[in-house]
Amino acid sequence: MVRIDKYLWAVRLFKTRTLASEACKSERVTIGGKPVKPSRIINVNEIFSVKEPPVFREYKILDITENRIGAKLVPNFLLEITSEENIEMLKLTKLAKKLDRPHGAGRPTKKERRDLEVFFQNS
């Protein structure tokens, strides 16, 4: 029996357990479309969603752990089932945030320039 906030932290979806707990409290974590409390006990084969604006990332629980695991072991405990179009939308919004430079911030760095070129070539 493991709480969802502890599980989210253990499988490295959140950096700290406090952040995982706050995500649950702010209704960013749902199971079956309903927001869950941090103390919700999870089961194997359950599907949950984590809101990462502007999309919900969906995951299936393959196994349960309450101890934080290494990044290489995460696929043994968690399967991401988010649709490809949602992942693509998330990538585009992250890229758009990077490209949004404040006025007067100077010249773009070499990496930012390359990102701009990739963005405009794909448009």
- Tens of pLDDT along 51-102? 998 899 999 999 999 999 999 999 999 999 999 999 999 988 888 877 776 7
Where do the domains of the chain lie, and which CATH numbers do they carry?
Answer: 1-82 (3.10.290.10), 83-123 (no CATH)
Q: pLDDT tier at 34 (50, 70, 90 boundaries)?
A: very high
Tell me, what amino acid is at 109?
A: T
Q: Which residues pair with 35 in a beta bridge?
A: 30
This prediction has a pTM of 0.78
| pLDDT for residue 36 is more than 80 | yes
Tell me, what amino acid is at 90?
A: L
Tell me, what amino acid is at 46?
A: E
What confidence tens digit (pLDDT) does each residue in 2-32 have? 999 999 999 999 999 999 999 999 999 999 9
User: What does each C-alpha distance from 97 to 28, 72, 100, 116 come to in angstroms?
Assistant: 21, 29, 5, 12
